[in-house]
Structures are given as C-alpha cells and as structure tokens.
Amino acid sequence: MTISCGIDFGTSNSSIAIAQDGIINLVPVEDDHVTIPSALFFPRKQSNPVFGRAAAKMFFDKKEGRYMRSLKRVLGTALMKNGTSINGKAVKFEKIISAFLQNIHDKANAQAGEDIGNVVMGRPVHFIDNDPEGDKRAQNELEIIAKSVGFKNVYFQYEPIAAAFAHEVKIAAEKLAIVADLGGGTSDFTIIRLSNKYIAKTERTSDILANTGVRVGGNDFDKDISLTSIMPELGYKSTFGEKNLEVPVKLYHDLAEWSKVNFLYTPKIITQARQLLHQSHDKKRFARIITVLEKEMGHALLASAEETKIALTSDEEHAANLDFLERDFFVNITRQRFEDAIQYEIEKISNSAVDCIKQAGIKEGDIQFVILTGGSTEVPAIQSLFRELFPNASIADDNKLSSVGLGLAYDSYRRFK
C-alpha cells in the first residue's frame, strides 16, 4: 500500500502525520513532542539552523545568532523575493522554509522506514486577504518548497476541512458541523457534514457547504497586547520636537509583528531612533526602544506579550516581564484590557464565521457540532464567542494543535491509497 503523509505547516506550530498500512499516526518531531514551534535559530558562524523549542531556547539563552518565527506569513508577499541576511549572507526565504520542512520530512521518513513521496499540505482558506494573486502565489511557493525537500506528489487541503476529518472518526450519525481553525496567522471556517460512515469517501465536495477565512490569528493578539499595554512603556504615541509630533508608529507596529522584527536591526533605523531621542518629550521611555533595537530584543518583547496572552486564558491579571530591559520591570495587564485590545480582531473573526453560515445557506441554529482547533481558540473571549453564536451545538476542542496534521494524513490516505 502507498505510504503518504499530511503536513500542517503552521504560523506558530507545525506537525506531520503518516498514513501507513491504513494506520494514521502523528510523528514525534521534537523529542517526544508531536508538534514543533515553527521557529529556527541560525547560530553565528554556523550554516545549519536549530529548530523548534531548541531554537527558542538558544535565542532566550542569548546565544549569538538569528532567530526567526512566523515564516508562513511571508508566503505570497514581496519578502519572499527580497529574502533576508543571515550571518552576513543574503538568504531567500524559500531556502529558510525548506530547511524547516526538510527537518520534519526527515523525521517522518525515519519513523516510516522509507522515503515518503506523497503529501497533502494544509493551507489557510486565504493566505492573504483580498489578494487572489498573492494567495495563488503563496500556494505555488509552498508547493515548490515541498518538492524541493523530496515530495514528488503534492496536494493541498484547507486546514479547517482537515481538522474536520480528524474529528469525523468519532461521529456516528451525520452531523452538520462548523470548524473554526484559529491559528497564529489566520482564522478559517468550514461548514461540513460529518459522519464516520464517510471516511472512505474519496470525493467530499458535496459534504462541504462553505469555506471562509480571514488573516487574523494569535500573532495579531500578540501585536494588540504589545501595542496597547507594552509599547507605551517604550515611548509609543509619545511626542517629539517643537511641533509636538507623534513619534513614527511604523517602528512600533513592525516590532509588534513576529515576521517583521528581524528587519529593524539596521544602522539606518537605529540612527534615526537615536536622532529622535534628542527631541523626545519622554526620553526615559523612548530610550527603551533604542535599547531594544541595539540589543536586538524585539523577539523577547513579543515573547512577553505572547506569555501574557497565554497567562490571561486562566488568570484575570498578569505581570508582563520586561526585566530584560530594566531590572524588576513589569507591566500589569488585566484580562479585560487584553480583551478590549483584541475586540476588533474578534469582530473580524465573528463576521467571517457568520459569513460562512450565510454562504452555506443555513442558520446558526442548524449547526449541531462546533470543532475548535488552533491555539487561539484557548482565549476565553473566543470560547465565549462560539458558545454565543451556536448555543445549541456541542463543542469539541481537544487536540487543538495536532488535529489539522492528523486530518491531512486521513486525506492523504484517501487520495493515495
């Protein structure tokens, strides 16, 4: 029987599952973990990167080198052509993403005992909002990368549909379900009829009623909490000069986005910031942004925002730790303040889910089953949103980080068997 696999290349986390002899299994991709953070660290003066948790550890242990995250958000954008600099050398993002996918492909080959040539890659409903050409370009780039690491046959499946396939094995009687896949970079929705009687069906088009998606995810929550609660302590929205002009906001917005941080550590940007310091009306706070730039602390700043977001899923208040900037420097942030900060993003997520219902030609009350997948569904405000939208439906929110990878492997089994 043909062996195949499914790869969930996520903005924040990734996984790979194998379909071998009719059995579907997730592959341990970092020690015993079946998911791996989508992160790389390129140590100084070394050509081979370190991946996942090990990459993050090297960065936060202040090893010399280059830390990179959220590479999925680069697909389809101009950054793919422009590339970046690593250890003084220009490197294309295609090569960087290839290194990450090669790592998990090698882990799967070792688990299977043979080279796996068939893969179903997950993809968001929209890589980029309102840009069909960019969306098509992103998928093409990912297909080229997948083939460059050894896959011969590459198919794509929407990530929320894959999550549905992973849960379908437990459903006896047919149910009308909505899948909400809220990851680090996108939020995607699918209305689909599910039943374990349908698992062997090779064609599922008639069971899928609608798909929608929006480029909003956990990274945007990190950005919101950073801009509203952390960046003001670094001079965000402060003023400078005789005309009381507001300091440039682009610097802060880029520092609050995982995929853009590494582009800010340039002599030009640092010089411009130093020049503003002389005219700043809040020199103490603005001086902190210069420290962040000079010491390349942007990822540490975002990690503090992400840590706060995670802590506020269970706690009503959290002290964001910024002691890498100054000794005993903490910023207290409440859950209410966090939820106020992400309200605009929640509205976009809600609108996309409701639009999916409308496109399917059904009503919210017709939904019997809600599947929540992706780390961002842990946020209490998101949980409340879906309970309010679908009060009559049962909710499944297990295997949040691995269900897409599993579902892609089920899909690969159907396609390649």
Q: What is the DSSP string of 298-355?
A: HHHHHHHHHHHHHHTTT-SEEEEE-TTTSTT-EEEEEHHHHHHHTHHHHHHHHHHHHH
Q: What is the DSSP letter of 211?
A: E
0.85 exceeded by the pTM? yes
Which residues are paired to 120 by β-bridges? Answer: 6, 155
Q: How big is the chain, counted in residues?
A: 417
Q: What is the pLDDT of residue 1?
A: 64
Vertex 205: Cα angle to 202 and 207 (nearest 5):
100
Residue 393 C-beta-side C-alpha neighbours within 13 Å:
25
Residue 2 clears pLDDT 70, i.e. is over it: yes
| Per-residue burial over 220-253, b = 16 or more CB atoms within 10 Å of its CB, e = otherwise | bbbbbbbbbbbbbbbbbebebeeeeeebeeebbe
One-letter identity of residue 39:
A
Closest among 262, 226, 218 to 41, alpha carbons compared: 262
Q: Report pLDDT digits (tens) over 64-74.
A: 999 999 999 99
Q: What is the pLDDT of residue 25?
A: 95
Q: Report pLDDT digits (tens) over 252-261.
A: 999 999 989 9
The number of helix segments (H) and strand segments (E) in the chain equals 14, 20
Low-confidence winner among 38-52, 109-123, 275-289, 353-367 (lowest mean pLDDT): 38-52
Residue 100 clears pLDDT 70, i.e. is over it: yes
Q: What is the pLDDT of residue 8?
A: 97
Structure tokens at 312: 């506020």
Residue 85 clears pLDDT 90, i.e. is over it: no
Mean pLDDT to the nearest integer, 202-223:
93
Mean pLDDT to the nearest integer, 7-31:
95
Closest among 45, 11, 23, 103 to 413, alpha carbons compared: 23
155 or 201, which is more confident? Answer: 155
How confident is the prediction for the chain on average, in pLDDT?
Answer: 94
Low-confidence winner among 192-196, 198-202, 209-213, 281-285 (lowest mean pLDDT): 198-202
Closest among 371, 374, 377, 383 to 167, alpha carbons compared: 371
Mean pLDDT to the nearest integer, 148-154:
97
Nearest 10 degrees: CA dihedral of 398, 402, 403, 408? -170
Domains assigned to the chain? 4-172+398-416 (3.30.420.40), 219-341 (no CATH)
Number of Cβ within a 10 Å radius of residue 408: 34
Q: What is the DSSP letter of 217?
A: -
Residue 307 clears pLDDT 90, i.e. is over it: yes
One-letter identity of residue 386:
F
